[in-house]
Chains A and B, each alone.
Chain A
């Protein structure tokens, strides 16, 4: 899941500590940490009320709630199995339970975890956690009544080892001291190995020193200098062993390591490591129903479909439209082709008619020219020749005044560009010999 909220609850000493972590695309963010001091000493009803108040006041909501109980409530052991039993690991671990467990098998809850064997490794290390049902069942019921049902449970040393394994990669040794009122629990995690020690006593500082010495001896570490030391718990602030370690979690403050137990508990459902165990059998684990998410998923799918349809809408509609246009074109194409043929025929006819009209307009104007000459020329003018050639008339003859003739002809509507084609000569009788050419202006 890309976004997930997890609540980790640690019940250690007399207190209940709670951390809310949010995983967003694999990135962790500490939302808040809370605690209920003296929680263990309350009556069951008051415990329920305290949790309900906490949930209500802080509007706690998460997809998983993980409980971590102190290590002395159960048993934690590590084994090494040959790598060949990897596929039958669960049954192999189950066989070992009888030798580990002081309780009958039907009265316990157990779980185990193991790192994936490295290439070439001949053995696999398995961490087993066992808890009596009598211890865990009341807590399951209590949190169910408090409307904060549990998704998982683990023991403190395992939970802390898981927290260390999931927050810091690599094999650097880490010691976590959980300093509570009356005891100090120490856990060292090194290269997949887990050692834990509990020292009872009211002197927290003294107990812490003792626990560290024992852990160094167990893990064969030379000194604290090469070790990452995390001190947490209600009494953690009272001892001064080393500076606080900053947790690689967004929004984690300098003192957030004081609640490392609760934070590690919440990491059980967010990250994986070789120490991940869940003591609550799967049938009793609370799983948030996915039903409320169904409408969201349906809406998401519908939105995606809607988006897809919107993207396809225009091309699809245009394709449909194109097909409608095609069928319409098919329907009217024969008629349109016929009309086109008619249009083409009409154009040919028009052109032909224009050519005919132009031919007919090129008729001669001899009659008009003769009539105009008869009307215009004075009685003293005599013509000796009349010729007509392609729209121009040439006349020759004698007149009292040739220039007067030119003017008379020019003034007519029929003739234009009237001019003498040769020089005018005057004979002995006083007559002008002329040759005049005029173009015929085609009446419109």
Chain B
């Protein structure tokens, strides 16, 4: 059987090849390229936001540097009031020294005293307590409290009990009233939590 290709068959074949070529060009090249462009374009808003954020950060760079310096300074100054917490024994000794120095300054002979171990106060600080008791005049006790407050390290009296040794209900008819009081107090000091990383 003879195979004859007529003109119209040739035209149909050419059109078929052209259509196939067009289909392949569109489906394999044009549409994927368009999709790539489209996908690349869709992330622009997110990138703009990111750039805006970065630029804001860039503008704030100098201010942040200043603020950071200032914050470091403030924190360092504040932390100077803390008892050193590198070592629990050292902290106990330091608090004891502070209290004893203050007592010595106002001529108070300290009686019984005990220092507790450091306990966690919050995520940044531990605290250490020292219980003391002594007999003194009211003035001495007030001076002692004032000395503690003016101590370079931050110590605070969490509890205080003060009672006169000789209770009086009226002024004695002659002679002075003995104004000696028995004082019991618990003094607390803050120290850095070693797990936080110490001084910045």
Please list the residues of chain A having a beta carbon within 8 angstroms of any beta carbon in chain B.
86-87, 116, 312, 314-316, 318-319, 321-323, 325-326, 328-329, 332-333, 335-336, 338-340, 342-343, 345-346, 349-350, 352-353, 355-357, 359-360, 362-364, 366-367, 370, 382-390, 398, 429, 431
Contacts and interface: CB of A to CB of B under 8 A. Distances in A.
Nearest to B138: A370
A314 B160 contact: no
Nearest to B186: A389
Contacts of A398: 169
A370 B141 CA distance: 10
Contacts of A388: 157, 159-161
A352 B75 contact: yes
**Looking at chain B, what size class is its interface with the partner chain?**
35 or more
Interface stretch (B17-25, B64-72, B91-99, B106-114): B64-72
A359 B163 contact: no
B102 interface: no
B78 A357 contact: yes
A339 B58 contact: yes
Contact of A322 (B40, B81, B125, B157): B40
B170 interface: yes
A336 B64 CA distance: 11
B40 to A, nearest CB: 4
Contact of B81 (A116, A340, A346, A360): A360
Interface in B44-70: 44, 47-48, 50-51, 53-55, 57-58, 60-61, 64-65, 67-68
Nearest to B167: A384
- Most chain B CB within 10 A, of A321, A359, A388, is at A359
Main secondary structure of the interface of A (DSSP, over half): helix
Nearest to A358: B122
Nearest to B72: A349
B154 A355 contact: no
Given A325-B44, A355-B125, A363 B154 contact: yes
A362 B121 CA distance: 12
Given A340-B57, A353-B71, A328 B34 contact: no
B182 to A, nearest CB: 10
Given A340-B57, A346-B71, A349-B71, A356 B41 contact: no
B14 interface: no
B115 interface: no
Given A336-B58, A346-B71, A116 B6 contact: yes
B4 A382 contact: no
A283 B169 CA distance: 148
Nearest to B42: A318
B136 to A, nearest CB: 13
18 contacts: A315-B38, A318-B44, A319-B37, A319-B40, A322-B47, A325-B47, A325-B51, A329-B54, A336-B57, A338-B61, A339-B61, A340-B57, A356-B125, A366-B145, A367-B146, A383-B164, A387-B159, A390-B159
Nearest to A87: B4
A370 B159 contact: no
A382 B167 CA distance: 9
Contacts of B29: none
Contact of B163 (A86, A332, A346, A384): A384
Interface in B7-36: 34
Interface of B: 4, 6, 34, 37-38, 40-41, 43-44, 47-48, 50-51, 53-55, 57-58, 60-61, 64-65, 67-68, 71-72, 74-75, 78-79, 81-82, 121-125, 138, 142, 145-146, 149, 154, 156-164, 167-170, 190, 196, 200
A382 B54 contact: no
A354 B200 CA distance: 15
B31 to A, nearest CB: 12
Nearest to B30: A308
B54 A333 contact: yes
A318 B58 CA distance: 25
A332 B54 contact: yes
A359 B125 contact: yes
A353 B160 contact: no
Given A339-B61, A384-B164, A367 B169 contact: no
A342 B142 contact: no
A362 B156 contact: yes
A319 B35 CA distance: 11
A321 B51 CA distance: 12
B158 A366 contact: no
B4 to A, nearest CB: 7
A360 B44 contact: no
B57 A382 contact: no
A343 to B, nearest CB: 6
A312 B34 contact: yes
A239 B138 CA distance: 154
Most buried by A among B55, B138, B169: B169
A431 B168 CA distance: 12
Contacts of A335: 57-58, 61
Nearest to B38: A315
A312 B78 CA distance: 62
Which of the listed residues A336, A345, A350, A390 has the most CB atoms from chain B within 10 Å of its own CB?
A: A336
A364 B57 contact: no
Contact of B121 (A352, A357, A359, A384): A359
A323 B54 CA distance: 16
B193 to A, nearest CB: 10
B191 to A, nearest CB: 11
Contact of A367 (B41, B44, B122, B149): B149
Contacts of B78: 353, 356-357, 360
Contacts of A338: 61
B89 to A, nearest CB: 22
Nearest 9 A/B pairs, CB to CB: A318-B41, A315-B37, A336-B54, A319-B40, A339-B57, A388-B160, A349-B71, A364-B157, A356-B78
